[in-house]
A and B are shown apart, each in its own frame.
Chain A
Protein backbone atom coordinates (compact mmCIF):
# COMPACT_ATOMS: atom_id res chain seq x y z
CA UNK A 1 0.00 0.00 0.00
CA UNK A 2 1.42 3.34 -0.98
CA UNK A 3 1.41 6.10 1.55
CA UNK A 4 -0.85 8.28 -0.63
CA UNK A 5 -3.67 5.73 -0.24
CA UNK A 6 -3.49 6.13 3.50
CA UNK A 7 -4.78 9.69 3.46
CA UNK A 8 -8.55 9.34 3.60
CA UNK A 9 -11.25 11.98 3.06
CA UNK A 10 -12.66 14.09 5.92
CA UNK A 11 -9.37 14.41 7.72
CA UNK A 12 -8.86 10.77 8.49
CA UNK A 13 -5.76 8.68 7.98
CA UNK A 14 -5.54 4.92 7.56
CA UNK A 15 -3.25 3.62 10.29
CA UNK A 16 -3.81 -0.14 10.25
CA UNK A 17 -4.77 -2.20 7.19
CA UNK A 18 -7.37 -4.94 7.44
CA UNK A 19 -4.60 -7.56 7.49
CA UNK A 20 -2.77 -5.75 10.28
CA UNK A 21 -5.94 -5.58 12.35
CA UNK A 22 -6.75 -9.26 11.82
CA UNK A 23 -3.25 -10.28 12.85
CA UNK A 24 -3.38 -7.97 15.88
CA UNK A 25 -6.61 -9.49 17.11
CA UNK A 26 -5.52 -13.04 16.39
CA UNK A 27 -2.53 -12.45 18.63
CA UNK A 28 -4.48 -10.40 21.18
CA UNK A 29 -7.36 -12.83 21.73
CA UNK A 30 -5.17 -15.92 21.76
CA UNK A 31 -2.83 -14.12 24.18
CA UNK A 32 -5.68 -13.25 26.52
CA UNK A 33 -6.86 -16.87 26.57
CA UNK A 34 -3.35 -18.09 27.33
CA UNK A 35 -2.97 -15.37 29.94
CA UNK A 36 -6.13 -16.37 31.82
CA UNK A 37 -5.50 -20.13 31.72
CA UNK A 38 -1.79 -19.56 32.38
CA UNK A 39 -2.61 -17.52 35.48
CA UNK A 40 -4.85 -20.39 36.61
CA UNK A 41 -1.88 -22.78 36.44
CA UNK A 42 0.39 -20.13 37.98
CA UNK A 43 -1.40 -19.68 41.27
CA UNK A 44 -3.90 -21.75 43.26
CA UNK A 45 -5.65 -18.49 44.09
CA UNK A 46 -6.43 -18.02 40.41
CA UNK A 47 -7.32 -21.62 39.57
CA UNK A 48 -10.97 -20.55 39.43
CA UNK A 49 -10.11 -18.96 36.07
CA UNK A 50 -9.56 -22.44 34.64
CA UNK A 51 -12.84 -23.61 36.17
CA UNK A 52 -14.64 -20.63 34.65
CA UNK A 53 -13.11 -21.39 31.25
CA UNK A 54 -14.44 -24.93 31.14
CA UNK A 55 -12.40 -26.77 33.76
CA UNK A 56 -8.78 -27.59 34.44
CA UNK A 57 -8.56 -30.43 31.92
CA UNK A 58 -9.98 -28.40 29.05
CA UNK A 59 -7.78 -25.43 29.93
CA UNK A 60 -4.72 -27.69 30.00
CA UNK A 61 -5.70 -29.19 26.64
CA UNK A 62 -6.45 -25.90 24.85
CA UNK A 63 -3.72 -23.68 26.33
CA UNK A 64 -0.95 -25.08 24.08
CA UNK A 65 -3.10 -25.06 20.95
CA UNK A 66 -4.21 -21.48 21.49
CA UNK A 67 -0.58 -20.76 22.33
CA UNK A 68 0.33 -21.97 18.84
CA UNK A 69 -2.20 -19.49 17.39
CA UNK A 70 -0.58 -16.74 19.43
CA UNK A 71 2.85 -17.74 18.16
CA UNK A 72 1.51 -17.73 14.59
CA UNK A 73 0.24 -14.20 15.26
CA UNK A 74 3.64 -13.14 16.57
CA UNK A 75 5.36 -14.50 13.45
CA UNK A 76 2.83 -12.71 11.21
CA UNK A 77 3.49 -9.48 13.10
CA UNK A 78 7.18 -9.97 12.56
CA UNK A 79 6.54 -10.24 8.82
CA UNK A 80 4.31 -7.17 8.85
CA UNK A 81 6.21 -4.81 11.10
CA UNK A 82 9.78 -5.91 11.74
CA UNK A 83 11.19 -3.52 9.16
CA UNK A 84 9.37 -0.57 10.71
CA UNK A 85 10.54 -1.48 14.19
CA UNK A 86 14.27 -0.79 13.83
CA UNK A 87 15.58 1.24 16.77
CA UNK A 88 16.90 4.59 15.53
CA UNK A 89 18.71 7.54 17.11
CA UNK A 90 15.32 9.27 17.50
CA UNK A 91 14.16 6.27 19.53
CA UNK A 92 17.16 6.53 21.81
CA UNK A 93 16.36 10.22 22.29
CA UNK A 94 12.76 9.24 22.97
CA UNK A 95 13.82 6.86 25.73
CA UNK A 96 15.98 9.60 27.25
CA UNK A 97 13.01 11.96 27.48
CA UNK A 98 10.50 9.29 28.47
CA UNK A 99 9.68 11.11 31.70
CA UNK A 100 7.91 13.79 29.65
CA UNK A 101 5.92 11.10 27.87
CA UNK A 102 4.89 9.63 31.21
CA UNK A 103 3.79 13.10 32.39
CA UNK A 104 1.78 13.57 29.19
CA UNK A 105 4.03 16.46 28.10
CA UNK A 106 4.17 15.09 24.60
CA UNK A 107 5.17 18.38 23.01
CA UNK A 108 8.60 17.94 24.63
CA UNK A 109 9.15 14.60 22.91
CA UNK A 110 11.31 14.14 19.81
CA UNK A 111 9.24 13.66 16.63
CA UNK A 112 7.87 10.14 16.33
CA UNK A 113 7.32 8.13 13.16
CA UNK A 114 4.71 5.42 12.68
CA UNK A 115 5.76 3.82 15.95
CA UNK A 116 7.31 5.42 18.98
CA UNK A 117 10.19 3.78 20.81
CA UNK A 118 7.88 2.33 23.46
CA UNK A 119 5.80 0.60 20.82
CA UNK A 120 8.95 -0.78 19.24
CA UNK A 121 10.06 -2.10 22.62
CA UNK A 122 6.67 -3.76 23.01
CA UNK A 123 7.03 -5.35 19.59
CA UNK A 124 10.49 -6.75 20.21
CA UNK A 125 9.60 -7.78 23.74
CA UNK A 126 6.64 -9.81 22.51
CA UNK A 127 8.69 -11.22 19.64
CA UNK A 128 11.52 -12.49 21.84
CA UNK A 129 9.19 -13.66 24.62
CA UNK A 130 6.93 -15.29 22.03
CA UNK A 131 9.79 -17.42 20.74
CA UNK A 132 10.87 -18.35 24.28
CA UNK A 133 7.30 -19.16 25.27
CA UNK A 134 6.91 -21.31 22.17
CA UNK A 135 10.11 -23.28 22.79
CA UNK A 136 9.58 -23.78 26.51
CA UNK A 137 5.89 -24.44 25.87
CA UNK A 138 6.73 -27.33 23.54
CA UNK A 139 8.66 -28.98 26.38
CA UNK A 140 5.83 -28.38 28.85
CA UNK A 141 3.27 -29.65 26.33
CA UNK A 142 4.82 -33.13 26.19
CA UNK A 143 6.80 -33.58 29.41
CA UNK A 144 6.33 -37.36 29.22
CA UNK A 145 8.36 -37.53 26.00
CA UNK A 146 11.39 -35.84 27.52
CA UNK A 147 13.73 -38.69 28.50
CA UNK A 148 15.01 -38.79 32.06
CA UNK A 149 18.54 -37.98 30.87
CA UNK A 150 17.23 -34.71 29.36
CA UNK A 151 15.18 -33.71 32.39
CA UNK A 152 17.13 -30.45 32.66
CA UNK A 153 15.14 -29.35 29.60
CA UNK A 154 11.99 -29.52 31.71
CA UNK A 155 13.69 -27.69 34.56
CA UNK A 156 14.73 -24.86 32.24
CA UNK A 157 11.38 -24.79 30.46
CA UNK A 158 9.31 -24.49 33.61
CA UNK A 159 11.17 -21.38 34.79
CA UNK A 160 11.55 -19.88 31.31
CA UNK A 161 7.86 -20.24 30.52
CA UNK A 162 6.79 -18.57 33.76
CA UNK A 163 9.29 -15.72 33.70
CA UNK A 164 8.82 -14.82 30.02
CA UNK A 165 5.06 -14.96 30.55
CA UNK A 166 5.47 -12.50 33.44
CA UNK A 167 7.48 -10.17 31.19
CA UNK A 168 4.74 -10.26 28.56
CA UNK A 169 2.16 -9.50 31.25
CA UNK A 170 4.09 -6.33 32.05
CA UNK A 171 4.18 -5.38 28.37
CA UNK A 172 0.53 -6.35 27.94
CA UNK A 173 -0.68 -4.21 30.86
CA UNK A 174 1.14 -1.14 29.58
CA UNK A 175 -0.02 -1.81 26.01
CA UNK A 176 -3.68 -2.09 27.01
CA UNK A 177 -3.42 0.94 29.27
CA UNK A 178 -1.88 3.05 26.54
CA UNK A 179 -4.20 1.84 23.81
CA UNK A 180 -7.47 1.90 25.70
CA UNK A 181 -7.07 4.58 28.36
CA UNK A 182 -4.15 6.88 27.73
CA UNK A 183 -4.13 7.51 23.97
CA UNK A 184 -7.74 8.22 23.07
CA UNK A 185 -8.34 7.08 19.51
CA UNK A 186 -5.75 4.32 19.54
CA UNK A 187 -8.23 1.56 20.38
CA UNK A 188 -10.60 2.68 17.62
CA UNK A 189 -7.73 2.69 15.17
CA UNK A 190 -7.04 -1.00 15.67
CA UNK A 191 -10.76 -1.77 15.22
CA UNK A 192 -11.68 0.54 12.32
CA UNK A 193 -8.19 1.10 11.00
CA UNK A 194 -8.19 4.90 10.78
CA UNK A 195 -7.23 7.81 13.02
CA UNK A 196 -7.89 11.53 12.83
CA UNK A 197 -5.29 13.84 11.38
CA UNK A 198 -4.98 15.36 14.83
CA UNK A 199 -4.17 11.99 16.34
CA UNK A 200 -1.45 11.45 13.75
CA UNK A 201 -0.07 14.99 14.23
CA UNK A 202 -0.16 14.61 17.96
CA UNK A 203 1.35 11.17 18.48
CA UNK A 204 3.18 10.39 15.25
CA UNK A 205 4.20 13.75 13.69
CA UNK A 206 7.02 12.38 11.56
CA UNK A 207 4.73 9.70 10.15
CA UNK A 208 2.05 12.34 9.49
CA UNK A 209 4.48 14.59 7.72
CA UNK A 210 5.67 11.71 5.57
CA UNK A 211 2.09 10.84 4.57
CA UNK A 212 1.00 14.40 3.86
CA UNK A 213 4.17 15.14 1.98
CA UNK A 214 3.49 12.31 -0.41
CA UNK A 215 -0.16 13.04 -1.01
CA UNK A 216 -1.99 16.09 -2.35
CA UNK A 217 -3.66 17.92 0.55
CA UNK A 218 -7.36 17.21 0.57
CA UNK A 219 -10.00 19.09 2.45
Chain B
Protein backbone atom coordinates (compact mmCIF):
# COMPACT_ATOMS: atom_id res chain seq x y z
CA UNK B 1 0.00 0.00 0.00
CA UNK B 2 3.05 2.21 0.24
CA UNK B 3 2.87 5.16 -2.19
CA UNK B 4 -0.76 4.26 -2.84
CA UNK B 5 -1.81 7.80 -1.98
CA UNK B 6 0.41 9.16 -4.70
CA UNK B 7 -1.67 7.48 -7.40
CA UNK B 8 -4.30 9.95 -8.39
CA UNK B 9 -7.64 8.96 -9.91
CA UNK B 10 -9.48 12.29 -10.00
CA UNK B 11 -8.20 15.85 -10.35
CA UNK B 12 -10.37 18.95 -9.92
CA UNK B 13 -10.87 21.19 -12.95
CA UNK B 14 -8.33 19.27 -15.00
CA UNK B 15 -8.63 19.43 -18.78
CA UNK B 16 -8.10 15.97 -20.18
CA UNK B 17 -7.49 12.50 -18.84
CA UNK B 18 -5.97 11.77 -15.42
CA UNK B 19 -2.49 10.27 -15.83
CA UNK B 20 -2.36 6.69 -14.62
CA UNK B 21 -6.07 6.44 -13.90
CA UNK B 22 -7.31 2.87 -13.59
CA UNK B 23 -3.92 1.22 -13.97
CA UNK B 24 -4.02 -0.27 -10.45
CA UNK B 25 -6.34 -2.81 -8.88
CA UNK B 26 -8.81 -1.27 -6.51
CA UNK B 27 -7.73 -0.93 -2.94
CA UNK B 28 -9.91 1.59 -1.20
CA UNK B 29 -9.02 2.52 2.36
CA UNK B 30 -11.68 3.22 4.95
CA UNK B 31 -12.02 4.48 8.49
CA UNK B 32 -14.66 2.83 10.64
CA UNK B 33 -16.07 4.79 13.59
CA UNK B 34 -18.17 2.79 16.01
CA UNK B 35 -20.13 5.49 17.87
CA UNK B 36 -21.48 2.85 20.25
CA UNK B 37 -18.06 2.33 21.84
CA UNK B 38 -16.80 5.92 21.68
CA UNK B 39 -16.32 7.40 25.18
CA UNK B 40 -15.67 10.96 24.01
CA UNK B 41 -12.13 11.11 25.40
CA UNK B 42 -10.92 13.33 22.51
CA UNK B 43 -7.60 11.50 22.22
CA UNK B 44 -8.22 11.49 18.46
CA UNK B 45 -8.60 15.30 18.50
CA UNK B 46 -5.21 15.66 20.18
CA UNK B 47 -3.52 13.05 17.99
CA UNK B 48 -4.80 14.83 14.86
CA UNK B 49 -3.33 18.16 15.99
CA UNK B 50 -0.07 16.52 17.05
CA UNK B 51 0.54 14.57 13.86
CA UNK B 52 -0.55 17.31 11.51
CA UNK B 53 1.35 19.92 13.53
CA UNK B 54 -1.68 22.17 13.81
CA UNK B 55 -1.41 25.26 16.01
CA UNK B 56 -3.50 25.23 19.15
CA UNK B 57 -6.45 27.61 19.20
CA UNK B 58 -8.85 28.70 21.92
CA UNK B 59 -11.73 26.30 22.58
CA UNK B 60 -15.34 27.42 22.86
CA UNK B 61 -17.33 26.33 25.91
CA UNK B 62 -21.04 25.94 25.19
CA UNK B 63 -22.19 24.00 28.26
CA UNK B 64 -21.33 20.66 26.71
CA UNK B 65 -18.20 18.57 26.52
CA UNK B 66 -17.70 19.58 22.89
CA UNK B 67 -14.42 21.39 22.20
CA UNK B 68 -15.94 23.88 19.73
CA UNK B 69 -19.10 24.15 17.63
CA UNK B 70 -17.54 22.98 14.35
CA UNK B 71 -14.27 21.85 12.85
CA UNK B 72 -11.86 24.65 11.92
CA UNK B 73 -9.20 25.12 9.26
CA UNK B 74 -6.69 24.02 11.91
CA UNK B 75 -8.95 21.61 13.81
CA UNK B 76 -9.91 18.76 11.52
CA UNK B 77 -11.20 16.22 13.99
CA UNK B 78 -13.95 17.06 16.47
CA UNK B 79 -16.08 14.88 18.74
CA UNK B 80 -19.68 16.09 18.63
CA UNK B 81 -21.65 15.51 21.81
CA UNK B 82 -25.43 15.31 21.94
CA UNK B 83 -27.70 14.52 24.86
CA UNK B 84 -30.51 12.72 23.11
CA UNK B 85 -33.81 11.84 24.72
CA UNK B 86 -35.20 8.60 23.32
CA UNK B 87 -38.87 7.80 22.79
CA UNK B 88 -39.16 5.99 26.14
CA UNK B 89 -37.80 9.06 27.95
CA UNK B 90 -34.36 7.72 28.73
CA UNK B 91 -31.24 9.68 27.94
CA UNK B 92 -28.58 8.69 25.45
CA UNK B 93 -25.29 10.51 25.33
CA UNK B 94 -24.30 10.37 21.68
CA UNK B 95 -20.73 11.05 20.63
CA UNK B 96 -19.54 11.17 17.08
CA UNK B 97 -16.12 11.90 15.71
CA UNK B 98 -16.64 14.48 12.96
CA UNK B 99 -14.12 14.92 10.14
CA UNK B 100 -13.93 14.74 6.36
CA UNK B 101 -15.92 11.79 5.07
CA UNK B 102 -13.73 11.23 1.99
CA UNK B 103 -16.72 10.77 -0.32
CA UNK B 104 -16.37 8.55 -3.36
CA UNK B 105 -18.18 11.32 -5.25
CA UNK B 106 -16.77 14.44 -3.56
CA UNK B 107 -18.82 17.63 -3.85
CA UNK B 108 -15.78 19.75 -3.01
CA UNK B 109 -13.89 18.31 -5.97
CA UNK B 110 -16.86 18.74 -8.31
CA UNK B 111 -17.20 22.42 -7.37
CA UNK B 112 -13.49 23.29 -7.43
CA UNK B 113 -12.40 25.49 -10.38
CA UNK B 114 -8.64 25.25 -9.84
CA UNK B 115 -6.60 22.60 -11.64
CA UNK B 116 -5.18 20.16 -9.12
CA UNK B 117 -6.37 21.92 -5.93
CA UNK B 118 -8.37 18.86 -4.88
CA UNK B 119 -7.37 15.32 -5.75
CA UNK B 120 -8.78 11.91 -5.00
CA UNK B 121 -6.21 9.15 -4.76
CA UNK B 122 -6.96 5.66 -6.00
CA UNK B 123 -7.25 4.56 -2.37
CA UNK B 124 -10.21 6.94 -2.01
CA UNK B 125 -8.55 9.66 0.06
CA UNK B 126 -9.72 13.14 -0.97
CA UNK B 127 -6.90 15.59 -0.42
CA UNK B 128 -6.60 19.37 -0.76
CA UNK B 129 -3.41 20.62 -2.42
CA UNK B 130 -3.08 24.06 -0.89
CA UNK B 131 -0.36 25.05 -3.38
CA UNK B 132 -2.97 24.96 -6.13
CA UNK B 133 -5.86 26.36 -4.07
CA UNK B 134 -7.04 29.81 -5.13
CA UNK B 135 -9.23 30.30 -2.05
CA UNK B 136 -12.54 30.73 -3.87
CA UNK B 137 -14.41 28.61 -1.32
CA UNK B 138 -16.49 26.74 -3.91
CA UNK B 139 -15.55 23.51 -2.09
CA UNK B 140 -17.30 24.89 1.01
CA UNK B 141 -20.45 25.15 -1.08
CA UNK B 142 -19.98 21.75 -2.69
CA UNK B 143 -19.52 19.82 0.57
CA UNK B 144 -22.69 18.33 2.12
CA UNK B 145 -20.91 17.74 5.46
CA UNK B 146 -19.66 21.28 6.28
CA UNK B 147 -16.03 20.19 6.32
CA UNK B 148 -13.71 22.46 4.23
CA UNK B 149 -12.67 25.49 6.27
CA UNK B 150 -11.15 28.72 5.01
CA UNK B 151 -8.07 30.33 6.52
CA UNK B 152 -8.44 34.06 5.95
CA UNK B 153 -4.70 34.63 6.46
CA UNK B 154 -3.35 32.16 3.93
CA UNK B 155 -6.49 32.39 1.74
CA UNK B 156 -6.53 28.62 1.39
CA UNK B 157 -8.95 25.91 2.44
CA UNK B 158 -8.00 23.02 4.74
CA UNK B 159 -9.48 19.79 6.02
CA UNK B 160 -8.66 16.27 7.25
CA UNK B 161 -6.29 14.43 4.89
CA UNK B 162 -7.07 10.98 6.36
CA UNK B 163 -3.36 11.23 7.20
CA UNK B 164 -2.53 10.54 3.55
CA UNK B 165 1.14 10.89 4.45
CA UNK B 166 0.90 8.13 7.09
CA UNK B 167 -1.31 5.92 4.93
CA UNK B 168 1.14 6.12 2.02
CA UNK B 169 3.79 4.69 4.37
CA UNK B 170 1.54 1.85 5.45
CA UNK B 171 0.51 3.40 8.77
CA UNK B 172 -3.00 4.01 10.04
CA UNK B 173 -4.23 7.62 10.51
CA UNK B 174 -3.16 9.31 13.75
CA UNK B 175 -6.67 9.35 15.21
CA UNK B 176 -6.97 5.58 14.80
CA UNK B 177 -3.66 4.99 16.55
CA UNK B 178 -4.72 7.05 19.56
CA UNK B 179 -8.15 5.51 20.19
CA UNK B 180 -8.17 3.77 23.60
CA UNK B 181 -11.48 1.91 23.24
CA UNK B 182 -10.95 0.48 19.79
CA UNK B 183 -13.99 2.30 18.43
CA UNK B 184 -11.83 3.46 15.51
CA UNK B 185 -10.71 0.98 12.89
CA UNK B 186 -8.80 1.38 9.67
CA UNK B 187 -8.39 -0.93 6.71
CA UNK B 188 -9.77 -1.66 3.29
CA UNK B 189 -13.31 -0.52 2.52
CA UNK B 190 -14.49 -4.11 2.13
CA UNK B 191 -13.02 -5.18 5.46
CA UNK B 192 -14.42 -2.16 7.31
CA UNK B 193 -17.82 -2.65 5.72
CA UNK B 194 -17.79 -6.27 6.88
CA UNK B 195 -16.71 -5.36 10.40
CA UNK B 196 -19.30 -2.58 10.63
CA UNK B 197 -22.14 -4.79 9.48
CA UNK B 198 -21.09 -7.44 11.97
CA UNK B 199 -21.12 -4.89 14.79
CA UNK B 200 -24.51 -3.56 13.68
CA UNK B 201 -25.93 -7.09 13.68
CA UNK B 202 -24.54 -7.60 17.16
CA UNK B 203 -26.19 -4.35 18.33
CA UNK B 204 -29.52 -5.34 16.82
CA UNK B 205 -29.52 -8.94 18.05
CA UNK B 206 -27.89 -8.68 21.46
CA UNK B 207 -27.95 -5.07 22.66
CA UNK B 208 -31.54 -4.05 22.04
CA UNK B 209 -30.76 -1.48 19.34
CA UNK B 210 -33.19 -2.69 16.64
CA UNK B 211 -32.42 0.31 14.41
CA UNK B 212 -28.65 -0.05 14.60
CA UNK B 213 -26.91 0.12 11.26
CA UNK B 214 -24.02 1.33 9.15
CA UNK B 215 -23.81 4.87 7.80
CA UNK B 216 -22.22 4.78 4.35
CA UNK B 217 -24.39 7.27 2.44
CA UNK B 218 -25.03 6.22 -1.19
CA UNK B 219 -25.96 9.81 -2.18
CA UNK B 220 -22.26 10.67 -2.36
CA UNK B 221 -21.27 7.28 -3.72
CA UNK B 222 -20.37 5.93 -0.30
CA UNK B 223 -17.69 7.38 1.95
CA UNK B 224 -14.17 6.57 3.04
CA UNK B 225 -15.31 7.10 6.62
CA UNK B 226 -18.22 4.96 7.81
CA UNK B 227 -20.11 4.95 11.10
CA UNK B 228 -21.88 2.36 13.17
CA UNK B 229 -24.88 4.14 14.74
CA UNK B 230 -27.32 2.94 17.42
CA UNK B 231 -30.09 4.38 15.29
CA UNK B 232 -29.16 4.64 11.64
CA UNK B 233 -32.61 6.03 10.76
CA UNK B 234 -31.85 9.30 12.58
CA UNK B 235 -28.23 10.24 11.95
CA UNK B 236 -29.07 13.94 12.59
CA UNK B 237 -29.03 13.16 16.32
CA UNK B 238 -25.32 12.56 16.09
CA UNK B 239 -24.29 16.21 15.86
CA UNK B 240 -26.05 16.90 12.57
CA UNK B 241 -24.92 13.99 10.41
CA UNK B 242 -27.08 14.47 7.28
CA UNK B 243 -29.64 11.77 6.63
CA UNK B 244 -29.25 11.57 2.87
CA UNK B 245 -26.29 13.71 1.83
CA UNK B 246 -25.94 14.70 -1.80
CA UNK B 247 -23.75 17.11 -3.68
CA UNK B 248 -26.07 20.17 -3.71
CA UNK B 249 -28.48 20.27 -6.67
CA UNK B 250 -27.36 23.77 -7.58
CA UNK B 251 -23.73 22.66 -7.81
CA UNK B 252 -24.79 19.81 -10.11
CA UNK B 253 -26.92 22.20 -12.18
CA UNK B 254 -24.11 24.73 -12.41
CA UNK B 255 -21.42 22.18 -13.30
CA UNK B 256 -23.72 20.17 -15.58
CA UNK B 257 -26.55 21.50 -17.76
CA UNK B 258 -25.78 25.19 -17.14
CA UNK B 259 -22.19 24.73 -18.24
CA UNK B 260 -23.18 22.99 -21.45
CA UNK B 261 -25.93 25.47 -22.19
CA UNK B 262 -23.66 28.41 -21.43
CA UNK B 263 -20.78 27.12 -23.53
CA UNK B 264 -23.07 26.36 -26.46
CA UNK B 265 -24.65 29.81 -26.20
CA UNK B 266 -21.31 31.59 -26.04
CA UNK B 267 -19.75 29.72 -28.95
CA UNK B 268 -23.04 29.86 -30.89
CA UNK B 269 -23.29 33.58 -30.25
CA UNK B 270 -19.79 34.24 -31.53
CA UNK B 271 -20.36 32.15 -34.64
CA UNK B 272 -23.75 33.78 -35.18
CA UNK B 273 -22.32 37.29 -35.04
CA UNK B 274 -19.48 36.34 -37.38
CA UNK B 275 -21.88 34.82 -39.89
CA UNK B 276 -24.12 37.87 -39.62
CA UNK B 277 -21.17 40.08 -40.48
CA UNK B 278 -20.31 37.95 -43.50
CA UNK B 279 -23.91 37.91 -44.70
CA UNK B 280 -25.00 41.49 -44.02
CA UNK B 281 -21.80 43.36 -43.23
CA UNK B 282 -21.78 46.65 -41.41
CA UNK B 283 -24.80 48.91 -41.49
CA UNK B 284 -24.24 50.79 -44.76
CA UNK B 285 -21.25 53.04 -44.61
CA UNK B 286 -21.85 56.74 -44.55
CA UNK B 287 -21.01 57.33 -48.23
CA UNK B 288 -23.61 54.77 -49.28
CA UNK B 289 -26.14 56.35 -47.00
CA UNK B 290 -25.42 59.75 -48.60
CA UNK B 291 -25.80 58.28 -52.06
CA UNK B 292 -29.07 56.59 -51.30
CA UNK B 293 -30.53 59.72 -49.80
CA UNK B 294 -29.17 62.12 -52.41
CA UNK B 295 -31.57 64.87 -53.26
CA UNK B 296 -33.60 64.38 -50.11
CA UNK B 297 -34.02 67.40 -47.92
CA UNK B 298 -33.88 66.82 -44.18
Q: Tell which of A144, A170, A181 touches B137, judged by Cβ atoms closer than 8 Å.
A: A144
Interface contact B134-A182, CB-CB below 8 Å = no
- A166, B265: Cα distance in complex, Å: 8
Query: Does more than half of chain B's interface fall in helix, strand or loop, or is it mixed?
Result: helix
Contact with B along A156-189 (1 / 0, CB 8 A): 1011001100100110011001000111110000
Interface contact A184-B283, CB-CB below 8 Å = yes
Interface contact B286-A199, CB-CB below 8 Å = yes
Interface contact A148-B70, CB-CB below 8 Å = yes
B151's closest neighbor in chain A, by CB? A144
Size of B's binding interface in residues, CB under 8 A: 50
Interface contact A166-B15, CB-CB below 8 Å = no
Q: Tell which of B113, B259, B283, B286 touches A47, judged by Cβ atoms closer than 8 Å.
A: B113
Residues of B within 8 A of A1 (CB): none
Query: Does B243 interact with chain A (Cβ within 8 Å)?
Result: no
Least CB distance from B229 to A in Å reads 21
Residues of A within 8 A of B14 (CB): 44
Q: Tell which of B13, B250, B251, B289 touches A44, judged by Cβ atoms closer than 8 Å.
A: B13
Binding site for A on B (CB under 8 A): 13-15, 70, 111, 113-115, 132, 134-138, 140-141, 146, 149-150, 152, 155, 248-251, 253-254, 258-259, 261-263, 265-266, 269-270, 273, 276-277, 280-286, 289-290, 292, 298
Ranked nearest first, the 6 interchain pairs of A and B with the lowest CB-CB distance are A143-B137, A56-B134, A144-B150, A44-B13, A155-B250, A60-B134
10 A-B contacts, Cβ less than 8 Å apart? A50-B134, A104-B284, A142-B137, A144-B149, A154-B140, A155-B249, A158-B138, A174-B273, A177-B277, A184-B285
Binding site for B on A (CB under 8 A): 40-45, 47, 50, 56-57, 59-61, 102-104, 106-107, 140, 142-144, 148, 151, 154-156, 158-159, 162-163, 166, 169-170, 173-174, 177, 181-185, 196, 198-199, 201-203, 212
